[in-house]
Structure 1
Amino acid sequence: MHDILDRRPNLVFITLAGYFLLCVVLRLAASPSLEIDEAEQAFLSQFLQLGYGPQPPFYNWLQYGLAQLIGTSLATMTILKNGLLFLCCLFYGLAAQLVLKDRRLSAIAMLGVLSLPPVFLLAQRDLSHTVAALFAVSLFLYGFLRTLTRPSLFSYLLTGIAVGIGVISKYNFVIVPVAAILAALPEPELRKRIFDWRILGAIAIAGVIALPHGVWVLQNLDAASSGTLNEMKEREAEGRLMQAFHGVFALASAIIGGGLVPLLVFGLAFRRKIRAIWQAESQWTRLVGRMIALCLLAVLLVVLGVAATHVREKWLVLFLVLLPLYLCLKIEAAEIDPAPGFRRFVPLVACIALVTLLIVSARAVVRPWFGDYSKLNIPYAALVDGVVEAEGRPPALVLTNDKQVAGNIRTRLTDVTVAIPHLSDFPPPDGTRRPLLVVWRDEKNQAPLPATLSAALEASGVAVSAQTPRKLELPYIYAAGPDRYRFSYIWVGE
């Protein structure tokens, strides 16, 4: 395969499309049950809103659109995520071709995206908004580099569109375009592109895209910011100095964790040329190098400013995704023949990506052998089928108390409204529709009916006498023995 790609590097686009298609097939084959992010997206795909909480809405809007077109299902969610990852690689490769003369190096840069742990591992387990932001970064990189190399009104507007999409994909994306502008200013040939009048069009179109959600953020500032900030503060009770120490250490660990694999892959592929690559420099290596440094500096300032003590690798991937392009620019600046390195690089990345994909896909089958069950093993589909069979018809409305249950039921009953009392208005406009299914997980022998569900039933006029729970114990998906999972539900008829 690497010999074919060596002769025709552009075939890497088709190879990547095949890889992401394989990702879709294996995910669909692994289990019909949903991971955390998948369940949340399935639940939220019922609603079109300007904001959904601590995450920007772009991914939710895409998921809502697909749900309206072809329905809510595991297939639509898997296709959306892997489609965005493919587009991320596609625009990344097109961006690389703008500043790299050798097509093999641009192919290496694009394949290098698959060497990032959040891409080859985390995204295939459970990511959503970060995937959308990665697509936005690649689209921005393509528009920005096209503006610097082949300036036109279209390139400026495309860059503005990418910025607008990025802002409503992940809030920390804002750092990328700011770093790009600052990184270009020291270069005289590039600086004049920043002060071109056409940049006003880019700013305007970015503002138009981001404005609706921006208004929502101003009206719901606490809901938009509290989630991530609270997650970053694991040691809030410690002194300021210790918080700073833990924050810097967490950031350094996340940088190493996110960047070590691509550095090792490039080091192994070009192991005899590392010194020459390290010393090489060009206008483009300076630009991209400054972008990476400025992005990480901005994160450091945020960590110190909010006294954060926890930094996750996936938060940094929007900045570390620039690393493969930077290394390829260094290789070209060193005037090294990329052919030998290309032939080593392709199998290394293929091995990492494919082996990880197989392990991630097989975990739902393998873990039960050791008595360990994950969310992929919980029998939600059997729950829905069992209730419908027992009651003789599907419900008109479903009420539950957590997103995991709600999202899984939504993929099985795509035409039925699924409500969570504390996350959506209840009773909803159709709250009097019957039959009503109230369902919750009973794995820890909870009270007969969770308080939130009891209050919601009372609000919808369901008599206490009708609130008699029924139990349903079902075998786990791929159960290795007699292990079963327990649900409780209430069926309210006409």
Structure 2
Amino acid sequence: MRSRVGRRPDLVYIVIAGYCLLSIILKILRPDSLEIDESEQAFLSQYLMLGYGSQPPFYNWLQYGVVALFGISVASLTIVKNTLLFLFLLFYGFTVHTLTSSRAFPAVAMLGVLTLPPVFLLSQRDLSHTVAALCAVSLFLCGFFLILKKPPHLSGYLLVGAAVGVGAISKYNFVIVPLAALLAILPEVRLRKRLFDWRVLASVAVCAAIVAPHAFWIINNLSHATGVTVAEMKEGSEGAVLPHAIQGLVSLAVATFKGVALTTAVFGLVFSADVGKILRAESLWTRIVGRMLLACFLIVALIIVAMGATHIREKWLALFTALLPLYLTLKIDAAGLDPAKRLPALLSIAGFLAFGVILMLWARVFIGPIIGDYSFAHTPYKGFSRVVHADGGASPTAIVVDDRIVAGNLRIQFPDTPIILAGISPESQNRLPAGRILAVWSAESGRDGVPPRIAALLTPKQPRLAEIEPTIVAIPYNAGRPGDMYKFAYVRVDTH
């Protein structure tokens, strides 16, 4: 493949498709216990709502639709994520194809994207909404540069409107990207007129139609939508040594460095012989993308100062650092270089990172227990479901839990039974069904008694709950060492 990709850069599309397919296969081959984000998606796939809390609903809507069609399973969860990841890379390649003349440049850009930590590592480990937003970013870039380079056409403006709408309901910070794009073309006299084309109204209309349902929800649930994120951004502010604004800007600088250092180093290594020439090169497109990058981080800095935020995570910047491989690729094009000879080296590095991580995550499930390292993937929910089915009790009309991870995993094991997260599930206080209720919780760390949130939900329906003795079961870990067990507790309650 290394020798062929220099002659046939289009083979990179096949590599990327194979990468996403292998990720799906390896995930299915692992034990079917879910990580944090996957658990949340599995649990929320029971509901179709205008808003779900601190994250916009687009990914949840996609997941709900797939589950409605094909049922809840590890496959239906991982296919959604990896399809979005593939589309992100595909649209990214299309964007570069629009702006360059050589077939090698889209391959350079897509392989460059695979060296970004949020893409090759975080997205495979446990991201969901960010993956959808990344897909929206590349779709927006594709439509945006199509409008700028080609004669104005209604389809391009509609594409941009759809991308902005989808992005806005995928991640709230996505809106910074189109705002930065508008600021980036203002200095270009020839391109400014595209902002005053009548087709912009069609673009705005499409965007508004997509955003409107969730916007209505936000108006009535603003604190619910923003509270968690604001709290996370101000994490550690009480003990801050520096003024909040300065500490926030330092955190931004550190997170930015973590996000761009590896990709910058990879490009610098692969194109080391021409670094000076690349740095000096400039074109219309490098100016626009460079301004977009700068504008994105300046806007984030202003938000940090205005909010007094002190803590910025690398994954929050993923939508902005995703512009870096595009910028570097366009700089290489502006330098007049033929990157085909460098593709094998870039493929080796990107392939090692991307394929290495998904293989490592798969192998960790089986190697980790050898050294006593147990993760969410090792929690034996399937073994627990076998115990519940074998204990002779009637099938529950609903399962009540007090933890999102337990909720999502039991949704996989009991696909036909409603899972209610005590105190959090929509209308759970008023919609607890009559019949046999199964309450389940982790009995690790001595949690043998009925947890308070579960008790608060069930007691009005069963006043004698305190007299019912919970059943404690110890189940061997998935792929665990002999004798290593995980404890669950459950109680069956009849309600009327």
Q: Give the TM-score of the pair, scaled to structure 1.
A: 0.97
With 224-233 and 276-285 compared, the bigger mean Cα shift is at 224-233
Q: Which amino acid aligns with 1:131?
A: V
Q: Structure 1 239/402 Cα, relative in aligned 2: closer, same or farther at 3 Å?
A: closer
Q: Which amino acid aligns with 2:252?
A: L
Distance 1:63 1:89 in 2: 20
Question: Secondary structure at the residue paired with 1:478?
Answer: coil
Q: Which amino acid aligns with 2:68?
A: Q
Distance 1:39 1:193 in 2: 44
Name the counterpart of 1:136: 136
C-alpha displacement of 1:355: 1.4
C-alpha displacement of 1:31: 2.0
* Contact 2:161–2:206 (Cα < 8 Å) also in 1: yes
Question: Secondary structure at the residue paired with 1:490?
Answer: strand
Alignment of 1:130-209 (within 5 A): 130-150=130-150, 151-209=152-210
Q: Structure 1 145/242 Cα, relative in aligned 2: closer, same or farther at 3 Å?
A: same
Q: CA offsets, 1:362-386, max 9 Å, x none?
A: 2222221111211111101111111
* Contact 1:431–1:460 (Cα < 8 Å) also in 2: no
C-alpha displacement of 1:449: 0.8
Question: Secondary structure at the residue paired with 1:449?
Answer: coil
Distance 1:390 1:235 in 2: 47
Matching of residue 332 in structure 1 with residue 333 in structure 2? yes
Q: Which amino acid aligns with 2:15?
A: T
Distance 1:307 1:113 in 2: 32
With 343-352 and 113-122 compared, the bigger mean Cα shift is at 343-352
Q: Which amino acid aligns with 1:412?
A: Q
C-alpha displacement of 1:426: 2.6
Question: Secondary structure at the residue paired with 2:114?
Answer: helix
Name the counterpart of 1:431: 433
Q: CA offsets, 1:277-314, max 9 Å, x none?
A: 00000000000000000001111111111111111111
Could you say what the CA RMSD is over the residues aligned between the two structures, in angstroms? 1.5
* Contact 2:7–2:340 (Cα < 8 Å) also in 1: no
Between Structure 1 and Structure 2, how many residues are aligned? 493
C-alpha displacement of 1:466: 6.5
Question: Secondary structure at the residue paired with 1:399?
Answer: strand
Name the counterpart of 1:402: 403
C-alpha displacement of 1:63: 0.7
Q: Which amino acid aligns with 1:376?
A: A
Question: Secondary structure at the residue paired with 2:19?
Answer: helix
Alignment of 1:68-467 (within 5 A): 68-150=68-150, 151-238=152-239, 241-391=242-392, 393-424=394-425, 425-427=427-429, 429=431, 431-432=433-434, 434-446=435-447, 448-461=449-462, 463-464=464-465, 467=468
Distance 2:335 2:143 in 1: 26
C-alpha displacement of 1:430: 5.5
Distance 1:197 1:71 in 2: 44
Q: Which amino acid aligns with 2:194?
A: R
Matching of residue 13 in structure 1 with residue 13 in structure 2? yes
* Contact 2:108–2:339 (Cα < 8 Å) also in 1: no
Q: CA offsets, 1:420-469, max 9 Å, x none?
A: 1211223453610x322110001011251111111211223463376321
Name the counterpart of 1:476: 477
Q: Which amino acid aligns with 1:221?
A: L
C-alpha displacement of 1:492: 2.9
C-alpha displacement of 1:50: 0.5
Name the counterpart of 1:61: 61
Q: Structure 1 430/401 Cα, relative in aligned 2: closer, same or farther at 3 Å?
A: closer
Q: CA offsets, 1:219-240, max 9 Å, x none?
A: 1111111111111112322579
Q: Which amino acid aligns with 2:485?
A: R
C-alpha displacement of 1:71: 0.8
Identity %: 47
Question: Secondary structure at the residue paired with 1:310?
Answer: coil
Question: Secondary structure at the residue paired with 2:492?
Answer: strand
Distance 1:78 1:152 in 2: 36
Q: Structure 1 229/465 Cα, relative in aligned 2: closer, same or farther at 3 Å?
A: closer
Q: Which amino acid aligns with 2:468?
A: Q
Distance 1:443 1:238 in 2: 32
Q: CA offsets, 1:350-370, max 9 Å, x none?
A: 111111221122222222111
Distance 1:321 1:437 in 2: 45
Q: Unmatched 5+ residue regions in structure 1?
A: none
Question: Secondary structure at the residue paired with 1:472?
Answer: strand
Q: Which amino acid aligns with 2:371?
A: F
Distance 2:55 2:291 in 1: 28
Question: Secondary structure at the residue paired with 1:123?
Answer: helix
* Contact 1:466–1:492 (Cα < 8 Å) also in 2: no
Q: Give the TM-score of the pair, scaled to structure 2.
A: 0.97
Q: Structure 1 462/63 Cα, relative in aligned 2: closer, same or farther at 3 Å?
A: farther
Distance 2:415 2:87 in 1: 28
Question: Secondary structure at the residue paired with 1:419?
Answer: strand
Q: Which amino acid aligns with 1:67?
A: V
Distance 1:264 1:240 in 2: 32
Runs of 4+ in structure 1 over 6 Å off: none
* Contact 2:422–2:453 (Cα < 8 Å) also in 1: yes
Q: Unmatched 5+ residue regions in structure 2?
A: none
Question: Secondary structure at the residue paired with 1:7?
Answer: coil
* Contact 2:448–2:472 (Cα < 8 Å) also in 1: no
Q: Which amino acid aligns with 2:99?
A: V
Distance 2:364 2:392 in 1: 34
C-alpha displacement of 1:391: 2.4
* Contact 2:448–2:470 (Cα < 8 Å) also in 1: no
* Contact 1:240–1:307 (Cα < 8 Å) also in 2: no
Q: Which amino acid aligns with 1:127?
A: L
* Contact 1:427–1:459 (Cα < 8 Å) also in 2: no
Question: Secondary structure at the residue paired with 2:243?
Answer: helix
